[in-house]
Amino acid sequence: MEVKIEKLVYGGKGLGRINDKACFVPYVLPGEIVEVEIKKEKKSFFECELKEILEKSPDRIEPVCKYFTYCGGCDYQHIPYEKQLQIKKDILKETLQRIGKIENPHIEKVIPSQEPFYYRNRTQIKIKGERVGFYKKESKEIINIDYCYLLKEDLNHVLQGTREILPYLTFQPVEVHAYSSNQDELLVKFVYPRRIKRFPLGLKHLRSFLSENIKGVGIYRGKPDGTTERLFTIGNIFAYEKVQDITFRVSIDSFFQVNRFQVENLINEVVEEFKEKKYKNVIDFYCGVGTLTLPVARYVENIVGIESNPYAVQDANHNRKLNNIKNTKFYRMESKEGVKLIDQLNPDAVILDPPRTGLSKQIIDKINISSIEKVVYVSCNPSTLARDINLFTEAGFEVKKIKMIDMFPQTYHIESITVLEK
192 binds ligand SAM per the rule CB under 6 A: no
The Cα–Cα gap between 167 and 81 comes to 40
Nearest 5°: phi and psi at 385?
-60, -50
Nearest 5°: phi and psi at 65?
-105, 135
The Cα–Cα gap between 371 and 299 comes to 19
Nearest 5°: phi and psi at 191?
-110, 125
380: annotated active-site residue: yes
255 binds ligand SAM per the rule CB under 6 A: yes
Q: Among 116, 288, 347, 358, which residue sits at the site for ligand SAM (rule: CB under 6 A)?
A: 288
Radius of gyration of the chain (CA): 23
Tell me the closest approach of the beta carbon of residue 266 to ligand SAM, in angstroms: 7
The Cα–Cα gap between 90 and 420 comes to 20
**8-state DSSP, 139:** S
268 binds ligand SAM per the rule CB under 6 A: no
Q: CB nearer to ligand SAM: give 86 or 308.
A: 308
Q: Among 228, 335, 370, 411, which residue sits at the site for ligand SAM (rule: CB under 6 A)?
A: 335
Tell me the closest approach of the beta carbon of residue 183 to ligand SAM, in angstroms: 16
Among 32, 2, 1, which residue's Cα sits nearest to residue 13? 32
* Residues 57 to 116 in contact with ligand SAM, rule: CB under 6 A: none
Scanning 3-11, 187-195, 301-309, 387-395 for contacts with ligand SAM by CB under 6 A, the matching segment is 301-309
Can you give 406-421 as a three-state secondary structure string?
CCCCCCCCCCEEEEEE
Site string for ligand SAM, 139-158 (x = CB under 6 A): --------------------
Q: Among 141, 334, 343, 365, which residue sits at the site for ligand SAM (rule: CB under 6 A)?
A: 334
The Cα–Cα gap between 88 and 110 comes to 10
Closest residue to ligand SAM using C-beta atoms: 288
Q: Among 91, 312, 372, 417, which residue sits at the site for ligand SAM (rule: CB under 6 A)?
A: 312
* Residues 376 to 415 in contact with ligand SAM, rule: CB under 6 A: none
Q: CB nearer to ligand SAM: give 28 or 252.
A: 252
Q: Is 130 exposed, middle or buried (0-12, 13-18, 19+ CB in 10 A)?
A: exposed
Site string for ligand SAM, 29-68 (x = CB under 6 A): ----------------------------------------
Among 316, 184, 319, 181, which residue's Cα sits nearest to residue 258? 181
| 394 alpha carbon, distance to own chain's centre | 28
Q: CB nearer to ligand SAM: give 58 or 226.
A: 226
Scanning 48-56, 73-81, 208-216, 287-295 for contacts with ligand SAM by CB under 6 A, the matching segment is 287-295
257 binds ligand SAM per the rule CB under 6 A: yes
3-state secondary structure of 336: helix
Compute how many residues bind ligand SAM; rule: CB under 6 A: 17
Let me know: does 264 contact 244? Beta carbons within 8 Å.
Answer: yes
* Residues 342 to 361 in contact with ligand SAM, rule: CB under 6 A: 353, 355
Q: Among 67, 179, 192, 286, which residue sits at the site for ligand SAM (rule: CB under 6 A)?
A: 286
Q: How many CA atoms lie within 13 A of 95 on its CB side?
A: 25
Q: How many CA atoms lie within 13 A of 266 on its CB side?
A: 25
The Cα–Cα gap between 296 and 291 comes to 9
Scanning 155-163, 191-199, 238-246, 251-259 for contacts with ligand SAM by CB under 6 A, the matching segment is 251-259
- Interacting residue ranges for ligand SAM, rule: CB under 6 A: 255-257, 286-288, 291-292, 306-309, 312, 334-335, 353, 355
Point out the residues that are catalytic: 380
